[in-house]
Amino acid sequence: MKNLAILVCVISAFVISVFSYKCYSCWSRNSTTCEESETECLGDRCMTAFQDFKLDGNVYKSMLKGCANETMCGMNGSAMAENTKFLFVSHCCNGHLCNNQKYQPPQDNLTTNGVKCPLSMCTETLEECKSDKEVNCTGSMDRCLEYRATVRDPYGRDRNYSCKGCTDSVACKYNFDSKIVAEEVHRVLFKC
């Protein structure tokens, strides 16, 4: 009986080691590197996401690594308003600790696509930001966006933003829920 218990423990350990995958896990809020640790995942897929957040001439580059969120695998999206641009891309891979990529900036397509949207950016208000400006949308951004929210910026400050601009179907689908560099504290409106 003792030998049977030992055999069961050995087989269990083997099964767990065969079907247990690890991925690198880390989060850099405003850096192209992060201190990686290993995390157990239910599946065999890992994910790495990269973001560039351009605000008032500053570029904040961020990265997130961990177990794959299947709905985010292969995501590539963008949005822009006055003096602001948000670009993101995510990559998934199969296998133990496969998400070992270094920072790779999301590609910014500057080719105009024929879509025009209202353009505005107001800070310190959650009311509609009105402007007579228009912008020629670029790349995959084929939808107009209106966004109002309190956002924690890369420096940890909470600020109110109200803006209008261009976005694409991926950013609309995920409602910026995949942000890394900035954290949404309170959303008033997100409309594509």
What backbone torsions phi and psi does residue 64 show, to the nearest 5 degrees?
-135, 130
Tell me whether residue 3 is in a domain: no
Q: Contact 105/61 with Cβ under 8 angstroms?
A: yes
Alpha helices in 42-181 (DSSP H): 169-174
Q: pLDDT at position 183, please?
A: 79
Sequence letter at residue 95:
G
Q: Which residue has the tokens 């351009």?
A: 54
Higher-pLDDT residue of 49 and 29 is: 49
Tell me whether residue 108 is in a domain: yes
Q: 19: pLDDT confidence band, cut at 50, 70 and 90?
A: low
Q: What is the CATH number of the domain that holds 77?
A: 2.10.60.10
Tell me whether residue 52 is in a domain: yes
For the chain, percent of residues with pLDDT exceeding 90: 48
Q: pLDDT at position 156, please?
A: 82
The region of weakest confidence among 7-11, 27-31, 33-37, 106-110 is 7-11
Q: Contact 41/23 with Cβ under 8 angstroms?
A: yes
Mean pLDDT (the chain, rounded): 84
Tell me whether residue 144 is in a domain: yes
Q: Read off the pLDDT of each residue in 70-89 and give the average, rounded to a whole number.
A: 88
Give the residue from 88, 112, 101 showing the smallest Cα distance to 177.
88
CA dist., res. 34 & res. 3, Å (int): 46
Dihedral of the alpha carbons of 80, 170, 96, 14, in degrees to the nearest 10: 140
Q: pLDDT at position 65, please?
A: 94
Sequence letter at residue 152:
R
Token pair in block for residue 12: 């269990």
The structural domain count of the chain equals: 1
Q: Which domain holds residue 116?
A: 21-191
Residue 16's H or E segment, with its range, is helix 2-19
Reply yes or no on whether the pLDDT at 96 is more than 80: yes
State pLDDT tens for residues 173-184. 876 555 666 778
Q: pLDDT at position 26, please?
A: 93
Going from the C-alpha of 11 to that of each of 3, 56, 99, the distances in angstroms are: 12, 58, 29
Q: pLDDT at position 4, please?
A: 40
Tell me whether residue 12 is in a domain: no
State pLDDT tens for residues 98-132. 999 998 888 899 999 999 999 999 999 999 999 99
Going from the C-alpha of 102 to that of each of 48, 51, 137, 177, the distances in angstroms are: 9, 13, 30, 23
Tell me whether residue 25 is in a domain: yes
Tell me whether residue 13 is in a domain: no
Tell me whether residue 15 is in a domain: no
Q: Read off the pLDDT of each residue in 42-70 and give the average, rounded to a whole number.
A: 88
Q: pLDDT at position 178, please?
A: 53
Q: How many residues does the chain have?
A: 192
